[in-house]
Amino acid sequence: MVRVAIVGGGISGLTTAFYLEQERRRGAPLSFTVFEAEGRFGGVIRTERVNGCVIEAGPDSFLSSKPWARELCDDLRLSSQLIGSRDEDRKTYILINGRLEPIPPGMQMMVPTRIGPVLTSRLFSRRTKLAMAREYLWPPQPLGADDDESVASFVSRHFNSEVVDRLADPMLTGIYGGDASMLSARATLPLMIDMECRHRSLVRGALAARAAQHSSAVPPQSLFTSMRDGMQRMVESIVRQVPRETLRSSRRVEAIKAQENGWQIKLGETTEDFDHLILAVPAHVSAKLIAELPGSERPAELLGEISYSSAVTVALVYAGGISLPAGFGFLVPRGEGKRMIACTFVHNKFENRVPTGTALLRVFMGGTRDAEILDQTDDQIVQIVRREVREILNIEAEPQLIRVFKWHKAMPQYGVGHLLKVARLEMHMQRFPKLHLSGNAYHGIGIPDCVRAGRAAADAIMRRMRSQRALA
Ligand SMILES: Cc1cc2nc3c(=O)[nH]c(=O)nc-3n(C[C@H](O)[C@H](O)[C@H](O)COP(=O)(O)OP(=O)(O)OC[C@H]3O[C@@H](n4cnc5c(N)ncnc54)[C@H](O)[C@@H]3O)c2cc1C
């Protein structure tokens, strides 16, 4: 019997548990245990269902274009729970000089695909509109195959610094809690790097992608997918579908030790032995856990170099009577002098999130831009948010319900050179057979990427078991 320990009960660790359980049911001779430090499973995925509102404390959806989370939902028999974002109402604003300016229709992230809306938009100066035309006609040299650069440098090379400040940086801050001048273009914008490689011009690449989509027989899917009752439904479903005794909450793994043919983990005063060990925890936790292993200096150092930012989300429920612009919400560039990074109009983005007539705003704060916000009390954070909501949206009304959620060191920062660092790390980790790294720190921070990583960890164990059986 092969024994597997999974450290970390977020979506990455739980996905591994789910797929190992499928193998076990098919007769694979294995057992597994998930050790989770907190009293609940799901990591940053957490939904509160209050007064008919679905309030997401962490992620509210996943990108539909990446298939792995949807596949997991199909395997969990949750397909009927999946809902798409209401893209017919999709409109996102950028706060510019205190005013909400819509991102013109046809923008694919920071790349225009329609001329008319860009020409009439007040979001961009004339200089930027000309830079966009120039990029189409005279695109810059592509990045060298082995090179990397920051998102800010990549976007400036194609357009200019205004596109960085008004679009790229607010968008990346919203996703990674990061900074466009630090984040790696290769790791965070892989599709754009690919476009650059194939078309040189991002505008040409985006137009080609749009044409291909128009001529495709497959109907376009909504940009975001969520769960009808909230994202936690994925977690609850996995928890229900693996044996209860395999899930241990409030069990922080404090140390790991190599054994002759496996691993020992230490929890408080007790130790337990396993054959395989999966670390589905933040890189800084993995760095500490492997630090005492002989020969672990370099991988521990590489793990420790992956920095993290923290986030605060604040949900505000208004019982009708407030007037908001149409659309999904807005992003706040750092030059605007606000502590908000973004605000989602949740009731517009997804159906059935709130009772009819109710508005649910979700505000994001923190990131590398404002780590200090985590030191404020919930009351202080609420005061700041209410002041900024009043200034930006002109909302004086008292919210019916306010919830504040703090996520400490939860978002890994894929800095310039991240992919090379991860490749080196994986090379060094080969010296620790049966020790696997999983989670959001390496090959993607989104839920689909974490699901893919979790499934890959289960597959790696199965491959190894099969090859050992073949050798026996
Ligand atoms: C505020 C916020 C909003 C987000 N929004 C989106 C979104 O809309 N769409 C999207 O796709 N992604 C989003 N993300 C990213 C995505 O949700 C995460 O990257 C993903 O859920 C991480 O899953 P994970 O299992 O790798 O890590 P985590 O969820 O961080 O889980 C790791 C687990 O390990 C546990 N742990 C840590 N140390 C130990 C130890 N020593 N022993 C045992 N257990 C330990 C922790 O308690 C935690 O439960 C968001 C993230 C945040 C923070």
Dump the DSSP string for 30-78. EEEEEE-SSSSSBTT--EEEETTEEEESS---EETTSTHHHHHHHHTT-
Please report which confidence band the pLDDT of residue 217 belongs to, taking 50, 70 and 90 as the band edges.
confident
Report whether pLDDT(415) > 90. Answer: yes
Identify the residue whose C-alpha is closest to ligand 1 atom 38. Answer: 281
Tens of pLDDT, residues 321-356? 788 999 999 999 999 999 999 999 999 999 989 999
Identify the residue whose C-alpha is closest to ligand 1 atom 48. Answer: 43
Return the pLDDT at 89.
79
- 398 Cα: distance to centroid of ligand 1 (angstroms): 32
Tens of pLDDT, residues 234-278? 999 999 999 999 999 999 999 999 998 899 999 999 999 999 999
- 45 Cα: distance to centroid of ligand 1 (angstroms): 7
Identify the residue whose C-alpha is closest to ligand 1 atom 8. Answer: 59
Please report which confidence band the pLDDT of residue 90 belongs to, taking 50, 70 and 90 as the band edges.
confident
Tens of pLDDT, residues 354-410? 999 999 999 999 999 999 999 999 999 999 999 999 999 999 999 999 999 999 999
All CATH 1.10.3110.10 domain ranges of the chain, comma separated, are: 106-215
Topology at the third CATH level for domain 2-39+230-306+414-471: FAD/NAD(P)-binding domain (3.50.50)
Ligand 1 touching residue 38 (CB < 6 A)? yes
Ligand 1 touching residue 278 (CB < 6 A)? no
Structure tokens, 212: 């291909």
Farthest CA pair distance, the chain: 72
- Residue (of 369, 326, 329) closest to 95 by Cα position: 329
pTM confidence score = 0.96
Locus of tokens 């900024």: 388
Average pLDDT over residues 66-77: 97
- 432 Cα: distance to centroid of ligand 1 (angstroms): 25
H or E stretch including 138? Answer: none
d(CA 306, CA 441): 7
Topology at the third CATH level for domain 308-411: Polyamine Oxidase; Chain A, domain 2 (3.90.660)
d(CA 27, CA 19): 13
Tens of pLDDT, residues 94-151? 999 999 999 999 999 999 999 999 999 999 999 999 999 999 999 999 998 889 999 9
- Within 67-109, strands assigned E span 82-84, 92-96, 99-102, 107-108
Contact 82, 225 (CB under 8 A): yes
- 211 Cα: distance to centroid of ligand 1 (angstroms): 36
Among 15, 231, 263, 447, name the best residue to mutate to test ligand 1's pocket (greatest count of ligand atoms within 8 A of Cβ). 447
Mean pLDDT of the chain: 95
All CATH 3.50.50.60 domain ranges of the chain, comma separated, are: 2-39+230-306+414-471
Identify the residue whose C-alpha is closest to ligand 1 atom 34. Answer: 8
All CATH 3.90.660.20 domain ranges of the chain, comma separated, are: 308-411
- The CATH code for residues 106-215 is 1.10.3110.10
Torsion of CA 111, 114, 119, 124, to 10 degrees: -20
